[in-house]
Amino acid sequence: MSNAASIAVGHDELAVLKLLALDGGTGGEMKVSCADVAEQVDASTQTASRRLQRLDDAGYVERETVTDGQWIAITDDGEQALRAEYEDYRRIFEGASSVELAGTVTGGMGEGRHYISLPGYMRQFEERLDYAPFEGTLNVDLTDASVRRRSALESLEPVPIDGWEDEERTYGPAICYPATIATADGQRYEGAHLITPERTHHDEDQIELIAPDRLRDELGLEDDEQVTVTVEERR
């Protein structure tokens, strides 16, 4: 994972990103000049140019320079960064508590199925989540922006799943958050959960989802398809 954005992008750069979005930058390419941006943020042309360069370095915008300015498009990572700001404001003004994570569907190691089906976990899922999950976890590779965003989950209250043991070994605890999954073509699946096992072979850049149904069937998902996961607090 690249840490470029967390180092180079501060509030000043985000303010420029917001301006670009207000001018239509999430809808595709737009023509801007450093002088225009400078005027709008009340800074020098050099400062505006530097902020645009930092947004570019962080992967928040894509740029093509032409003689009389530049064409700029906000990337998915850039949009995600703006959404993170938006969610903070929602939390401030509406008390809303959700975290949006974006990524692509991926195959895992084929172990999710085994763990989800174990009676020591299944019993708790039925009692605490009110359903018996499809036996497996849908794995999602997070974008860099969402890997950074992931720490915001700590402010949400999860459903705890306790560790347990049988005659042979111990099994670790896990936490679950209610989650809604949306596809790029606008389909939605409500009533899933993001599950974070304490012992896992995956890094921070992957999440696992459980649901009463096989999500690949319900949403027609293939590997590498983009999804957005809205994670909430336990109700």
Ligand X SMILES: Cc1cc2nc3c(=O)[nH]c(=O)nc-3n(C[C@H](O)[C@H](O)[C@H](O)COP(=O)(O)O)c2cc1C
Q: Which does 216 bind (CB under 5 to 8 A by kind): ligand CDP, Mg ion, ligand X, none?
A: ligand CDP
Residue 211 interface partner, choices Mg ion, ligand X, ligand CDP, none, CB cut-off 5-8 Å depending on type: ligand CDP
> Measuring CA to CA, how many Å separate 106 from each of 52, 114, 158, 188?
33, 18, 24, 18
Closer residue to ligand CDP (CB): 53 or 117:
117
Residue given tokens 């850049």 in the structure block: 205
Contacts of 99 (CB under 8 A, 6+ apart): 87, 149, 150, 152, 153, 156, 230, 231
Which one of 108, 120, 163, 173 is in contact with Mg ion (CB under 5 A)?
108
For the window 139-158, what string marks contact with ligand X as x by the rule CB under 6 A? Answer: x-------------------
- Tell me which H or E stretch contains 218: helix 215-218
- Answer yes or no whether residue 18 interacts with ligand CDP by CB under 6 A: no
Output the DSSP codes for 67-126. Answer: TTEEEEEE-HHHHHHHHHHHHHHHHHHH---EEEEEEEEE---S-HHHHHH-HHHHHHHH
Segment interacting with ligand X, rule: CB under 6 A, options 4-12, 28-36, 90-98, 114-122: 114-122
For Mg ion, what does the binding mask look like between residues 132 and 171, x meaning CB under 5 A? -----x-x--------------------------------
Q: What is the DSSP letter of 143?
A: P
Contact assessment for residue 48 and residue 16, using Cβ atoms and an 8 Å cutoff? yes
**Nearer to ligand CDP (CB atom), residue 107 or residue 119:** 107
What are the backbone angles phi and psi of residue 222, rounded to the nearest 5°?
-120, 165
Question: Residue 174's binding partner, choosing from ligand CDP, Mg ion, ligand X, none, with beta-carbon cut-off 5 to 8 A by kind?
Answer: ligand X
Name the site residues for ligand X (rule: CB under 6 A).
108-112, 115-116, 121, 137, 139, 171-172, 174, 195, 197, 199-202, 208
